[in-house]
Amino acid sequence: MQSDIIKWLIHTFVCTLFILFTCVITDFLPLPSATQVNDILSAGYHFVEIGITLWAFLLLLSLLPPIAFCTLYTILGGISAILAFFRYKIGFAFNTIILDVIFQTDFTVSADVLSWQLFVWIVLFVTTSIILSRKRYAYKIQYKHLASIIIIGLSSVCLIIFTSNFSPLANSVRNHLPFNIYSVTQDYLSERQEIKTERPSVFSYATTSEDLIVVAIIGEALRSDHLHCNGYKRQTTPRLEQLGIVSFDNIYSEYIHTNRSVPHILTRADSLNPDRAFSEPSFIDVFKAADYQTTFIANQNPEKPYFYFFSEADTSIRINSGRSFVTFDKWLDGDMLPLYNNIIQRPYNKQLIVLHCIGSHWWYNAHFIKTPDMDSLFTPIVESRVISGADSMAIVNSYDNTILYTDYFLSQVIASLKHKNAIVLFLSDHGEALGEDGKWLHASDPSIKALHETASFVWFSDIYKKKYPTFVAAAHKNCCQRYRTDYFYHSIIDGAHIQTDVLDTTLSIFR
List residues near Zn ion by CB under 5 A.
Answer: 220, 258, 429
- The residues that bridge with 460 in the sheet, in sequence order, are 423
- CA dihedral sign, ordered 196, 198, 202, 205: positive
Of the candidates 220, 184, 213, 177, the one whose C-alpha atom is nearest the C-alpha of residue 431 is 220
Kindly list the distances between the CA atom of residue 217 and the CA atoms of 146, 267, 403, 492, in Å, as whole numbers in the listed order: 60, 14, 14, 11
- The residues that bridge with 207 in the sheet, in sequence order, are 499
Nearest to Zn ion of 18, 362 (CB atom)? 362
Q: Smallest distance, Å, CB 480 to Zn ion? A: 25
Nearest to Zn ion of 11, 226 (CB atom)? 226
With vertex at residue 184, the alpha carbon angle to CA 181 and CA 185, rounded to the nearest 5 degrees, is: 80
Q: Smallest distance, Å, CB 462 to Zn ion? A: 33
Nearest to Zn ion of 306, 460 (CB atom)? 306
Q: Smallest distance, Å, CB 446 to Zn ion? A: 14
CA gap 86, 321 in Å, rounded: 13
Residue closest to Zn ion when measured from CB atoms: 258
Nearest to Zn ion of 47, 457 (CB atom)? 457
Q: Smallest distance, Å, CB 184 to Zn ion? A: 20
8-state DSSP, 482: -
Q: Smallest distance, Å, CB 258 to Zn ion? A: 3
Q: Smallest distance, Å, CB 361 to Zn ion? A: 7
CA gap 315, 293 in Å, rounded: 8
Nearest to Zn ion of 155, 360 (CB atom)? 360
CA gap 171, 164 in Å, rounded: 9
Q: Smallest distance, Å, CB 412 to Zn ion? A: 22
Nearest to Zn ion of 429, 486 (CB atom)? 429
Nearest to Zn ion of 257, 490 (CB atom)? 257
Q: Smallest distance, Å, CB 357 to Zn ion? A: 10
Query: Which helix (H) or strand (E) element contains residue 352?
Result: strand 351-356
Kindly list the distances between the CA atom of residue 227 and the CA atoms of 237, 301, 380, 500, in Å, as whole numbers in the listed order: 6, 26, 20, 34
Nearest to Zn ion of 158, 251 (CB atom)? 251
- The residues that bridge with 457 in the sheet, in sequence order, are 247, 426
CA gap 456, 410 in Å, rounded: 12
8-state DSSP, 380: S
